[in-house]
Structure 1
């Protein structure tokens, strides 16, 4: 057995680990390095066609964003993840591929003037579409015999719909070991998704530690603060603009805004309009609205049984085109705009 680290070691993003056992090579995540951590994403330190399996902890791009590049470079194996992660991957990898194509086109237009060599995208939309041909899905708690000497179980990590701890029971040459890959670990008491499952034991744990040196607030329900900010801003005739990751955080905001409206917590404009200014967030919300059996917490199950749409409410709108997005700048009606630009440095927030 051999474990190698090819990303998210000594940095935050680009999670990618490789387990070699019984002649097989198994990747756990294959993420894109982003932001201040970004280095050259264009090359793997291994040959793509030597990888037999990819196990995906969750759909965020820093854990999944180089899978289409793996396929482009000759990967012929099998990708295994949970049902909800696979659904989110389909839209997120297509969106990432579109960004890769756009970035390459912009660099090539700029390079034409200076005579710079042409830039190829890391991967194309076609490469992202081919990822789904390799996909196999499972549910939480299901034991999968992946290959000789490798049994795999995905358990709820409480980070994002479908996110998982991956528990691997390994046997090689009569030696038995268990190893857990945490992916990203969720907090407790988040809306819709369940708390992380407690893991009872393992020989090795490979875990993220992004927030390992601090305590989170005790409660993740920020409806009171959010309602006050919206109320104060609407009373002054202003807009509340919220940069938000398209998948996960946007749906959490919609959940809390629905509560705010139901409880009439914004007196200055009770029926205030809300705009989702992100086509990707709109697509992701449709997945959050789908069959979540086995993924929802008790509160969400109760709301569904009551017939409540957790992420929709009166006066909710979604923009599709960039023209619709730009038109929001000219509309003087006070509103809430949720825009998919998590770090405020690109996209529609700009």
Structure 2
């Protein structure tokens, strides 16, 4: 058994792992990089021959886990892409949106290059690549075992992160012995609101575990909701515009649900327009509504009461660019728009036109990777160049991490504590401080932990426990 860490080591984005057993080769996730230097990383040559892969396994739909799959297909991969049915549906939407955004960005860069006498810029991949990738998508059912390559069997388990997210269990036959590797994917918290709790797994030889928030704790759901309630209440009093950079898959639906609850409490009045400014927002929410049976008991109870959990009153889906621009003239509203890290999408346009106003509010409700516009705003940069214009950040800033669909330190340790076989934990998908902190916490709980670096390779019985194992 050979494991190679090709992404999401020392950082959160670009999730990518290669697993080999005998002549079989399986790729787990193939995500985009987001943040500083992302274009160069995304265009870099793969560390393997795509056509040599038997299968690709996707833990979930988020673009930092699935975004480079169409490029993989463009470069020659022709096997099956296994994922849960909701993930199959969501990635098809996300890839088409990526094609649109990359096409727009390439056109903008090409216009700039023409003025400098430089060559045109091509998108990372095109619509035909996304369509070919979509044709390779193969739905898997939670909890069923599937053979994805000779000698490699997998099972998708609910990760509780977003709709369709999965922990992937992998069994391999090697020299007559069975080896089991578990990929956590992105784990949801132990106390969820929308999704079901992450599945408990008790047996494995090796576990690849995420560490996005491995060094910190979230506020409780009650505390988070109170914090959001206070921000919205203050914004309503001052007739402010509230801008929320939003991952339009899951985080947007969670916020729509929370606003529906605030309306039922009488806190958010029906005369305040809510703009969901995303061309794919309607499609993503439709997919969520078509899989309501996969959600938590809390969501099920509201459905039984006749509530539409993801459609508060005065919700306006914004699809055209012209309608998006008209929001600039509306002074009092709530605006949800992607991308969640402000590194593209329509939120950039709204920030350019609203971040200067001290009456406005920006609420960050998700992780902001290093180098992204969102992270720079949170880190306190006061003068930023946004969409070609220099603007001053005067808006009031709020960060509410409790809405995160990621497990925090205690959640990760609780999930890891379910294993009864003393596996080796490979701590990935986190900034160095976060990954090292989680590894140290695992060690304190008498568990072995490795913090790999990009490109590091581990071979069973050979170099699986190198010097960076925390003992």
**TM-score, normalisation: structure 1:** 0.94
1:162-311, aligned counterparts within 5 Å?
Answer: 162-219=164-221, 222-266=224-268, 269-293=269-293, 295-311=294-310
Offset at residue 217 of structure 1 (A): 1.3
* In structure 1, distance between residues paired with 2:152 and 2:298: 36
Alpha-carbon distance in 1 for matches of 2:92, 2:344: 23
State the alpha-carbon separation in 1 of the partners of residues 264 and 229 from structure 2.
12
- Find out whether 1:7 has 2:7 as its counterpart: yes
Distance 1:94 1:220, change over 3 A: farther
CA distance, structure 2, for counterparts of residue 86 and residue 221 of structure 1? 34
Report what 1:153 is aligned to: 155
Q: Counterpart of 1:28? A: 28
3-state DSSP of counterpart to 2:41: coil
More displaced, 218-227 or 80-89?
A: 218-227
Query: For residues 245 and 303 of structure 1, do their structure 2 counterparts lie closer, same or farther at Cα, with a shift above 3 Å needed?
Result: same
User: Which shifted more, 196-205 or 273-282?
Assistant: 273-282
Deviates more, 1:94-103 or 1:162-171: 94-103
- Please list the CA deviations of residues 209-243 of structure 1 after superposition, one character each: whole Å capped at 9, or x if unmatched: 12111111122663333233223222222222211
TM-score, normalised relative to structure 2: 0.70
Using CA pairs under 8 Å that are at least 6 residues apart, name the structure with larger relative contact order, 1 or 2: 2
Q: Give secondary structure in 2 for the equivalent of 1:40.
A: helix
Name the CA distance, whole Å, in 2 between partners of 1:271 and 1:111: 46
Match of 2:361 in 1: none
> Structure 1 stretches of 5 or more lacking a match?
none
Residues 1:195 and 1:240: Cα distance change in structure 2 (over 3 Å): same
Provide the C-alpha distance between the structure 2 equivalents of 1:183 and 1:62, rounded to a whole number of angstroms: 11
Separation (CA, whole Å) in 2 of partners of 1:102 and 1:327: 20
Structure 1 residue 259: deviation in Å?
0.4
Distance in 1 of aligned mates of 2:210 and 2:55: 22
**Residue 70 of structure 2, aligned match among 43, 68, 71:** 68
Secondary structure, aligned partner of 1:165: strand
Query: SS where residue 107 of structure 2 aligns?
Result: helix
Would the aligned equivalents of 1:2 and 1:19 in 2 still touch at CA under 8 Å? Answer: yes
**Counterpart in 1 of 2:384?**
none
Deviations 1:186-223 (A, max 9, x none): 11333221111111120000111121111111226633
Matched, 1:347 2:349: no
Alignment of 1:30-179 (within 5 A): 30-36=30-36, 38=38, 39-42=40-43, 43-179=45-181
CA contact (8 A) 1:32 1:41 kept: yes
Please state how far the C-alpha of 1:12 moved relative to its aligned partner.
Answer: 2.0
Q: 1:280: how far off? A: 2.1
C-alpha distance in 2 between matches for 1:150 and 1:59: 23
Aligned residue for 2:333?
Answer: 335
Going from structure 1 to structure 2, the CA distance change for 1:115 and 1:16 (only over 3 Å counts) comes to: same
Return the alpha-carbon distance in structure 2 between the equivalents of residues 72 and 171 of structure 1: 31
Asked if the contact 1:69–1:122 (Cα under 8 Å) also holds between the matched residues in 2, the reply is yes
Q: Secondary structure at the match of 1:8?
A: coil
